[in-house]
Structure 1
Amino acid sequence: MRPPTRLARAGGALLLAAGLSGCLSAYIGPAPDENTPTAPPSAQPGPATAAPTGPAAVTVTIGNFQFQPANFTVRPGGTVTVVNTDAVEHTLTAQDRTFGTAPIAPGATATVTAPAQRGPYSYQCTFHHFMRGILTVA
């Protein structure tokens, strides 16, 4: 036979549980009546997908070893046209290499498609690393 202290502990736990039950009902309200029909919860709409805010196409000009504009916004999948007005080749290449142009000869034009994922993308010229900018997909 076990000592009575174990029964006292078990009884104390039951009293504690009963006490918590009473405390919780004060916060969540009384239990529903079995005979009262309950309505199903209303359907909550899912998160809305924001419409694109950036333009569908942007033109970036390279001149004097600078991107103009260096920072710009385009919608997901939008077109970026890059015009090289410098006397040397340049590229417009994402730092993580997710997008980019081939070398663009002086006087030539290239296009690149913006990523589908929204957010900022740092880019640079692979020949001249000091030439940098941020393409924001929105």
Structure 2
Amino acid sequence: MNRLAMLVVAACLGAWLTVACSQADHAAPQQSTVQPAPGGPTITIAGMGFSKALTVAPGTHIAIVNDDEVEHSVTSRDKGVFDVHVDGKGRATLTAPDKPGQYAFYCLYHPAMVGTLTVR
């Protein structure tokens, strides 16, 4: 009976390790230590929505201000372009992509929240 219990524990541990290791392959959200210029471009999150569409130059540092109480993200629809998470009542910085174009984004936690960043 002890042998059976040890096999069950080993199988469960193996399954858990498989899941944990597969999760490690996902990229962590971008967190920038660069501070945007005061009065520069800003994406404001308020009332479970993003401020109006924003147009910036490539590589511009954009302030993200979350006026809501809950955590949000600014995540590009094109996987891996940008993914910045902001705590409730928090601030973060997003660096605009180097390639010109229109970048649709959304909140991972609240997918109905959508916006557009234009880089030119």
- Measured after TM superposition, the shift of residue 84 of structure 1 is 0.5
* Greater fraction of residues in strand: 2
| 1:59 alignment partner in structure 2 | 42
When the two structures are superposed, what TM-score results if normalisation uses the length of structure 2?
Answer: 0.64
1:63-102 residue pairs with structure 2 within 5 A?
Answer: 63-69=46-52, 71-96=53-78, 97-101=80-84
**Structure 1 residue runs without a partner (length 5+):** 1-56
Deviations 1:59-83 (A, max 9, x none): 11101001012x1101000111110
Q: Deviations over 1:4-61 (max 9, x none)?
A: xxxxxxxxxxxxxxxxxxxxxxxxxxxxxxxxxxxxxxxxxxxxxxxxxxxxx41111
Seq. identity, %: 39
Q: Distance in 1 between matches of 2:57 and 2:41?
A: 10
Q: CA RMSD in A?
A: 1.0
How many residues get paired? 80
- TM-score, with structure 1 as normaliser: 0.56
Deviations 1:71-128 (A, max 9, x none): 1101000111110010110011111131120x31111100010011001011011111
The gaps in structure 2 that reach 5 residues or longer are 1-39
- Alpha-carbon separation, structure 2, partners of 1:63 and 1:88: 10
Question: For residues 104 and 43 of structure 2, what CA distance do their matches in structure 1 show?
Answer: 14
Q: Which 4+ runs in 1 deviate beyond 3 A?
A: none
